[in-house]
Structure 1
Amino acid sequence: MTRPARARIDLDALRHNYALARRLHGGRALAVLKANAYGHGAIPCARALADMADGFAVAFTDEALALRAAGIIRPILVLEGAFDADELRLANRHGLWMVVHHEHQVRMIEYQPDLRGLHAWLKADTGMRRAGFSTQAELADAHARLSASGKVADITLMTHLARADEPDQTATTRQIAAFKALTGGLPGDRSLSNSAGVLGWPAARGDWSRPGILLYGADPMPGAGHGLIPVMTLESRIFAVRGVQPGDAIGYGGRYVADRPMRVGLVAVGYADGYPRSAPSGTPVSVDGRPSRLVGRISMDMLTVDITDLAGAGVGSRVELWGRQVDVNVVARAAGTVAYELLCNVKRVPLDYSG
């Protein structure tokens, strides 16, 4: 019998979420496919969006080249930009768009004699203090030098929002204002909005958005109601059942102790598959479509769920770890992390595509 753990990937849901992001933001949208499309498979996701996406974004050049090798011809933005001159030339040969966020990258472009028609995305640091030019003078100087280099076809001005998923904070309002001040008078398209910016900050809308986590149906904003559909369903099945008595400890470390007679289902999925070891007892799961919970510590290859009150549940019962019935954000909060990490960490299980 084939091990039943798998991640089901609904490409129709991916297309729905992209269309929703583009409609909310207006303008054009780069579908962010970095980190293997947040664990969903970059090439299948790119192919699913190829006829509707304005372009794609990845973290580094190798991710972009894998998409090109798979036949993806839409624009691809490399968010970290080039690390050296050889990479810059390679990216240019493949028509990749490159983020420029520090002085060394500007000089690389200026000094390469064989660059032609580069699409540069010039990054302003508006408060995240991670990458980008921090002052108006620095940004204007970089813009002027790129424009004068003869290597650059056009320049898009961009920034990244650090706290857009916190709608009650003023940090995003300050970043939007800083971006306007830093880029005032400079020609070029504008791009500010990540997923949370698209969903919660109309003032951050520009010519281009860069939706990431929302494409995969994990809402980055508090609450819900945006109409996103989960793309991944992580699931497995119960392959053994046992009874435990009050006082019995379940799993490594004996962290969960039964306080009543229980039926416990052993599920074929664990932290080696990407389910978080830090998820505590009580974290929600779904068994045959009915709510249940984890009991005991997560093991490498398996975990245990409470089926005491689920009549008919047993060997062969389907267990959803996250998906349409169990919100991945709820699991992430229980485990002390974020949905981004959970989705990116899915491994070893097969990805089954539909749509």
Structure 2
Amino acid sequence: MARPLIADIDLNALRHNYCLARDLAPHSQSVAVLKADAYGHGAVACARALEDLAPAFAVACLEEAETLRAAGIEAPIVLLEGIFEAPELERVDALGLWVAVHSEWQIEALLSFTPRRPIPVWLKVDSGMHRLGFPPAQAADIWARLQAAPDHVADLHLMSHFATADALEPGYFRRQLDLLNALAKSLDAPTCLANSPATLAWPEAHGAWNRPGVMLYGSDPLEGANDASRSLVPVMTLRSEIIAVREIDAGEPVGYGGRFKAPRPTRIGVVACGYGDGYDRHAVDGTPLLVDGQRVGLAGKVSMDMLIVDITDLPSAGIGSEVVLWGQAANGEVLSVDEVARYCDTISYTLLTGVLPRAPRRYHGG
């Protein structure tokens, strides 16, 4: 019998979430972000599930785009970080990719390269994230340089990245948006600004393009959920089974370091999943899981291959019982990856992208 840990990927849920993003912004086009292997869900399978819906895809780098092209994905693909060295432009041209530009050397490389057809370019401006992008004061000159090179550049757009679109306090977000709106108006530039939280919560940020990412996979990026984010459906269910059951006395320690001590005579279940599969070792005692669709708590530190749950209050649970680490149980109960992430002092992105290949993906729907 195979080890029971599986990452179930519901491609119908992915399509639902994409349609939600699209319908929230009916005057925008929505590029589906597939970077980091579609946030751990499998970029090729997710692209195939969305290729009749999404007009374009986005990845971080050339290697990710090459994987999609090799699988037969023909839709436009934008490199959100652009090129990392000038010779990559040969492959960009050959594969028909779009590129973001955020540094002077990228501009120089692009304008020194002769493509077979002009390359669509998204000019990235640093509106306050202070990560990548040109200072806003330089944007007009760079925009003019790119516009003056129609043999090299096509479909020029303005892009940026919001630092706090997910936050309840909107002050900094509005500061960024006001700057970008003024800049776009002065340049008469189409924009791509809205990430997942801005797509969900800030229609005034919707531009010619939006770029929903983590919301496509059913994770709510907002500090305070709204009606739209509550409509998201989890795409990944990380599920396993109980492989052993133990009964221990009150006061007995469980797991490495004995962090959990049984508060009463306790029945524990050993689950085939650990940090060697990508489950976060920082999970604290009480981190929720679903056993046979019922909530239980983690008991003790996560091991490489196993973790332990307290099933004292579930007398019917035993060897072979379904365990959902996050996602949807067989009885329909849902445990959000966002809730699990809070118990691990992290965010859903790290959990989803951290699921390792040892947890095989099983696809259905789509």
Task: Quickly name the TM-score band, shorter chain normalised.
Answer: over 0.9
Q: Give me the whole-angstrom Cα distance separating, in 1, the residues matched to 2:271 and 2:108.
A: 55
Q: Is 1:312–2:316 an aligned residue pair?
A: yes
Q: Give me the whole-angstrom Cα distance separating, in 1, the residues matched to 2:136 and 2:195.
A: 22
* SS, match of residue 186 in structure 2: coil
Q: TM-score, normalised by structure 1?
A: 0.98
Q: Give me the whole-angstrom Cα distance separating, in 2, the residues matched to 1:301 and 1:204.
A: 44
* SS, match of residue 335 in structure 2: coil
> Which residue of 1 is the match for residue 295 of structure 2?
291
Deviation at 1:241, TM superposition (A): 0.2
Checking the alignment, whether the CA contact within 8 Å between 1:75 and 1:95 is kept in structure 2 is yes
> Which residue of 1 is the match for residue 186 of structure 2?
185
Q: Is 1:28–2:32 an aligned residue pair?
A: no
Please list every run of 5 or more consecutive structure 1 residues that lacks an aligned counterpart in the other structure: none
C-alpha distance after superposition, 1:12-62 (max 9, x if no partner):
000000000011022100000000000000000000001111110000011
Deviation at 1:141, TM superposition (A): 1.3
Q: What root-mean-square deviation, in Å, do the aligned CA atoms of Structure 1 and Structure 2 show?
A: 1.1
Deviation at 1:182, TM superposition (A): 2.6
Distance 1:171 1:115, change over 3 A: farther
Q: TM-score, normalised by structure 2?
A: 0.95
Q: Is 1:245–2:249 an aligned residue pair?
A: yes
Q: Is 1:349–2:359 an aligned residue pair?
A: yes
Checking the alignment, whether the CA contact within 8 Å between 2:93 and 2:115 is kept in structure 1 is no
Whichever residue aligns with residue 282 of structure 1, its letter is G
Deviation at 1:200, TM superposition (A): 1.0
Question: For residues 328-339 of structure 1, what are the structure 2 equivalents within 5 Å?
Answer: 328-339=337-348
Q: Is 1:276–2:277 an aligned residue pair?
A: no
Q: Give me the whole-angstrom Cα distance separating, in 1, the residues matched to 2:169 and 2:241.
A: 41
Same amino acid, percent of matched pairs: 52
Q: Give me the whole-angstrom Cα distance separating, in 2, the residues matched to 1:239 and 1:284.
A: 18
Deviation at 1:115, TM superposition (A): 5.2
> Which residue of 1 is the match for residue 156 of structure 2?
155
Q: Give me the whole-angstrom Cα distance separating, in 2, the residues matched to 1:83 and 1:92.
A: 15
> Which residue of 2 is the match for residue 92 of structure 1?
93
* SS, match of residue 187 in structure 2: coil
Q: Is 1:9–2:31 an aligned residue pair?
A: no
Q: Give me the whole-angstrom Cα distance separating, in 2, the residues matched to 1:178 and 1:299.
A: 48
> Which residue of 2 is the match for residue 144 of structure 1?
144
> Which residue of 1 is the match for residue 55 of structure 2?
54
Q: 1:301 aligns with which of 305, 316, 336?
A: 305
Q: Give me the whole-angstrom Cα distance separating, in 1, the residues matched to 2:170 and 2:192.
A: 21
Q: Give me the whole-angstrom Cα distance separating, in 2, the residues matched to 1:54 and 1:151.
A: 23
Deviation at 1:183, TM superposition (A): 2.8
- Corresponding residue pairs, total: 354
Deviation at 1:296, TM superposition (A): 0.6
> Which residue of 2 is the match for residue 64 of structure 1?
65
C-alpha distance after superposition, 1:225-248 (max 9, x if no partner):
420000000010001000010110
Checking the alignment, whether the CA contact within 8 Å between 2:243 and 2:271 is kept in structure 1 is yes
> Which residue of 1 is the match for residue 336 of structure 2?
327
Q: Give me the whole-angstrom Cα distance separating, in 2, the residues matched to 1:280 and 1:166.
A: 25
Q: Give me the whole-angstrom Cα distance separating, in 1, the residues matched to 2:234 and 2:197.
A: 16
Question: For residues 106-255 of structure 1, what are the structure 2 equivalents within 5 Å?
Answer: 106-114=107-115, 116-136=117-137, 138-149=138-149, 150-224=151-225, 225=227, 226=229, 227-255=231-259
Q: Give me the whole-angstrom Cα distance separating, in 2, the residues matched to 1:319 and 1:277.
A: 17
Q: Give me the whole-angstrom Cα distance separating, in 2, the residues matched to 1:14 and 1:219.
A: 13
Q: Give me the whole-angstrom Cα distance separating, in 1, the residues matched to 2:120 and 2:224.
A: 37
> Which residue of 2 is the match for residue 43 of structure 1?
44
Q: Give me the whole-angstrom Cα distance separating, in 2, the residues matched to 1:215 and 1:135.
A: 30
Q: Give me the whole-angstrom Cα distance separating, in 1, the residues matched to 2:141 and 2:131.
A: 20
Checking the alignment, whether the CA contact within 8 Å between 1:89 and 1:115 is kept in structure 2 is no
* SS, match of residue 87 in structure 2: helix
> Which residue of 2 is the match for residue 340 of structure 1?
349
> Which residue of 2 is the match for residue 264 of structure 1?
268
* SS, match of residue 156 in structure 2: strand
* SS, match of residue 188 in structure 1: coil
> Which residue of 2 is the match for residue 73 of structure 1?
74
Q: Give me the whole-angstrom Cα distance separating, in 2, the residues matched to 1:186 and 1:93.
A: 30
Deviation at 1:113, TM superposition (A): 2.9
* SS, match of residue 155 in structure 2: strand
* SS, match of residue 37 in structure 2: helix
Q: Give me the whole-angstrom Cα distance separating, in 2, the residues matched to 1:301 and 1:311.
A: 25
Whichever residue aligns with residue 40 of structure 1, its letter is H
Whichever residue aligns with residue 128 of structure 1, its letter is M
Whichever residue aligns with residue 71 of structure 2, its letter is A
Deviation at 1:106, TM superposition (A): 0.7
Checking the alignment, whether the CA contact within 8 Å between 2:184 and 2:191 is kept in structure 1 is no
Checking the alignment, whether the CA contact within 8 Å between 1:242 and 1:263 is kept in structure 2 is yes
